[in-house]
A and B are shown apart, each in its own frame.
Chain A
């Protein structure tokens, strides 16, 4: 994946309402009717701020992922939409109506819980039929003041919908199995079927693949995407796994410390990170200090590089992101920068090569093997350089000096943390 930066930079956010085509390639955010909006939502527990003045909207039929490390507030955001938590301040709108005070059972959203939360006393069929067997207010909606009839579905209708849904999640024939006898992946499907059978407008998914092994996860990612497209409903998906987010989403919302760091398509988020946190969290990044000498020229290590970014003040200090795969290794004489290889790890598709440039270590992913100790030069194309304004995260990420420990530890830590939230 080369970091190609198209001219679509300004295309990314904040269209709303307009009746534009539903799916506009794989570029800008899906433009359809706005369905849910969080306005100035803050949340604190015992004086500790979990969400800090969140403003975000969710479009109809969109696959939107809330991505961030544990404790970033993503699960809390989901629980606020589900109605399980009330924001300390701010408003939640559904289809234009304020729903802060609407309890979960009257909301037109359904949730797939982190550990599925299947009812152990019911079999697969009864789990899926649970929501259908509860009489609902006619016509949906959250207005409980109006005196409307409650609709009870007929047995035949329930049966039809349950079986149809079990077929969609490939669990035909499992109707009478006990949910406790199912494998993780099968339980996952039951949880999805149980939520989707109610035909919600929005499905909330809280790290639904967290408990599955790698292989199953990949399969389920595709499965979920397929189901979302087939059912044509909004998915709001919470994960800490950036690969998962990039692979499945139409829109990714990167969160940290209760704040939204960036909203955009997976391509935007990867190619145009807004700050050092996003750049580091999504994929691997070398982040170095630079100075913007003029439009489309940035200075790193006292050398000028051509780039595609503009609109900065002259001589403004900036953060420069260079993705490990955007660096070409050349001979020392040809290189724009010269450095010494200090570590090489074989990763299958490529080598992770750590190169020391003037005391700052970079990660370079290359298919060329360069032995430790060799002197090399590098070249970076203009579209391999991404310039960001300084933020509070500047200087915190993107240095591979303590490479071997950091790189692996972070991955493990993340995997272990998923249950805490």
Chain B
């Protein structure tokens, strides 16, 4: 230890070892073995080799998380940009509005979306009342009673965007408020119009915020199981559901669950490393 103060880090190091490193090692051991006779484990790679069966789940998870992340970025960046440009009063109110839903339970919020998107939910009732469904039937010659919204990939993406959008806005907002206004003026002074100022100064300098935002949205989106179960209604199985099923559900097979978790972790880490290189490295750490 270099100095006495680093002693304060010891509890955290112990904590990390107990609840991060050791569990990962246990997972690794589990993933490389299958249940043998009785209590014994026997080493095997079949958990990994058999994973090809679940390629579609992997594909769906990463695809939906990717779409949700892109949408969060497209919505979140302009919001963060606008907020950072407004007066302190507006910023406080906007911040409160963004944080407010996060004070409510995550499941409760997702259940509320179920009530809204249900076939006889709030939205469909509204469409009914407004005659939009009748209009749609007349125009297309179909005969539907409701729009199918729940149990679609769209509903899952909506749930992700709704739940994780604040995690995109906040880091970008933080970086943008710290951006020196003189740099903007300097760019204007050198002949850049507002679009050029944005492309050549504001955007590159807010990249670190974008990277942390993308990480904080993408990682939980890939591994979610509540959102896909509640809003996907079982038709949109994602990695989180698959893993949960191996540990707690009917398909009980912790070895396979552990292997899937390991693979997912590796893919996520690879994605993040690529992102980090894209963002030129030296920005603040964004690994969760």
Query: Which residues of A approach B to under 8 Å, CB–CB?
Result: 82-84, 103-106, 109-111, 113-115, 117-121, 130-131, 134, 136, 194-195, 198
Closest CB pairs A-B (n = 3): A131-B190, A117-B182, A117-B186
Say whether, besides A131-B190, A131-B191, A134-B190, A120 and B182 are in contact (CB < 8 Å): no
Q: Most chain-A Cβ atoms within 10 A of its Cβ — which of B191, B196, B204?
A: B191
Chain A residues, CB < 8 A from B190:
105, 110, 130-131, 134, 194-195, 198
Chain B residues, CB < 8 A from A131:
190-191
Say whether, besides A130-B200, A134-B196, A119 and B191 are in contact (CB < 8 Å): no
Q: How far is the CA of A328 from the CA of B44 in the complex (A)?
A: 104
State whether the Cβ of B79 lies closer than 8 Å to any Cβ in chain A.
no
- When C-beta atoms are compared, the residue in chain A nearest to B189 turns out to be A111
Chain A residues, CB < 8 A from B275:
none
- When C-beta atoms are compared, the residue in chain B nearest to A130 turns out to be B190
Cβ < 8 Å to A, chain B residues 107-138: none
State whether the Cβ of B57 lies closer than 8 Å to any Cβ in chain A.
no
Q: For the complex formed, measure the closest distance between the CB of A165 and the CB atoms of chain B, giving whole angstroms.
A: 13
Tell which of A83, A106, A113 touches B186, judged by Cβ atoms closer than 8 Å. A113
Q: How many A-B residue pairs have CB under 8 A?
A: 62
Q: Are A105 and B193 in contact (CB under 8 A)?
A: yes
Other than the known A105-B196, A117-B183, what 15 A-B pairs have Cβ atoms closer than 8 Å?
Answer: A103-B193, A104-B189, A105-B188, A105-B191, A105-B192, A110-B189, A111-B186, A115-B182, A117-B185, A117-B186, A119-B187, A130-B192, A130-B200, A131-B190, A198-B191
One digit per residue, 1 when the CB lies within 8 angstroms of any chain A CB and 0 when it does not, for chain B 179-222 equals 01011011111111100100011001100000000000000000
Q: Are B183 and A82 in contact (CB under 8 A)?
A: no
Q: How far is the CA of A84 from the CA of B280 in the complex (A)?
A: 32
Query: Which residues of B approach A to under 8 Å, CB–CB?
Result: 180, 182-183, 185-193, 196, 200-201, 204-205, 280
- When C-beta atoms are compared, the residue in chain A nearest to B205 turns out to be A121
Q: Are B182 and A134 in contact (CB under 8 A)?
A: no
Q: Are A136 and B191 in contact (CB under 8 A)?
A: yes
Q: Are B189 and A82 in contact (CB under 8 A)?
A: yes
Q: Most chain-B Cβ atoms within 10 A of its Cβ — which of A84, A106, A119, A195?
A: A119
Chain A residues, CB < 8 A from B188:
83-84, 103-105
Q: Are B182 and A119 in contact (CB under 8 A)?
A: no
- When C-beta atoms are compared, the residue in chain B nearest to A131 turns out to be B190
Chain B residues, CB < 8 A from A114:
182
Q: Are A120 and B205 in contact (CB under 8 A)?
A: yes
Chain A residues, CB < 8 A from B205:
119-121
Q: How far is the CA of A115 from the CA of B182 in the complex (A)?
A: 9
Chain A residues, CB < 8 A from B182:
113-115, 117
Q: Most chain-B Cβ atoms within 10 A of its Cβ — which of A103, A110, A111, A130?
A: A130
26 residue pairs of the A-B complex, CB under 8 angstroms, read A82-B185, A83-B188, A84-B189, A104-B185, A104-B189, A105-B192, A105-B193, A106-B191, A109-B189, A110-B189, A111-B185, A111-B186, A113-B186, A115-B182, A117-B182, A117-B185, A117-B186, A118-B186, A119-B201, A120-B205, A130-B187, A131-B191, A134-B191, A134-B192, A134-B196, A195-B189
Q: Are B189 and A119 in contact (CB under 8 A)?
A: no
Q: How far is the CA of A329 from the CA of B186 in the complex (A)?
A: 54
Q: How far is the CA of A82 from the CA of B186 in the complex (A)?
A: 10
Q: How far is the CA of A121 from the CA of B185 in the complex (A)?
A: 16
Q: How far is the CA of A379 from the CA of B272 in the complex (A)?
A: 82
Q: Are A113 and B185 in contact (CB under 8 A)?
A: yes
Q: Most chain-A Cβ atoms within 10 A of its Cβ — which of B185, B196, B201?
A: B185
Q: For the complex formed, measure the closest distance between the CB of B247 and the CB atoms of chain A, giving whole angstroms.
A: 45
Q: For the complex formed, measure the closest distance between the CB of B201 and the CB atoms of chain A, giving whole angstroms.
A: 6
Q: How far is the CA of A104 from the CA of B182 in the complex (A)?
A: 13
Q: For the complex formed, measure the closest distance between the CB of A131 and the CB atoms of chain B, giving whole angstroms.
A: 4
Q: Are A119 and B183 in contact (CB under 8 A)?
A: yes
Q: For the complex formed, measure the closest distance between the CB of A399 and the CB atoms of chain B, giving whole angstroms.
A: 40
Q: How far is the CA of A130 from the CA of B200 in the complex (A)?
A: 9
Q: Most chain-B Cβ atoms within 10 A of its Cβ — which of A120, A121, A136?
A: A121
Chain B residues, CB < 8 A from A83:
188
Q: For the complex formed, measure the closest distance between the CB of B190 and the CB atoms of chain A, giving whole angstroms.
A: 4
Q: For the complex formed, measure the closest distance between the CB of B20 and the CB atoms of chain A, giving whole angstroms.
A: 34
Q: For the complex formed, measure the closest distance between the CB of A200 and the CB atoms of chain B, giving whole angstroms.
A: 9
Chain B residues, CB < 8 A from A111:
185-186, 189
Chain A residues, CB < 8 A from B187:
119, 130
Chain A residues, CB < 8 A from B189:
82, 84, 104-105, 109-111, 195
Q: For the complex formed, measure the closest distance between the CB of B169 and the CB atoms of chain A, giving whole angstroms.
A: 22
Q: For the complex formed, measure the closest distance between the CB of B68 and the CB atoms of chain A, giving whole angstroms.
A: 28
Chain B residues, CB < 8 A from A198:
190-191
- When C-beta atoms are compared, the residue in chain B nearest to A82 turns out to be B189
Q: How far is the CA of A111 from the CA of B185 in the complex (A)?
A: 9
Q: For the complex formed, measure the closest distance between the CB of A140 and the CB atoms of chain B, giving whole angstroms.
A: 10
Q: Are B180 and A117 in contact (CB under 8 A)?
A: yes
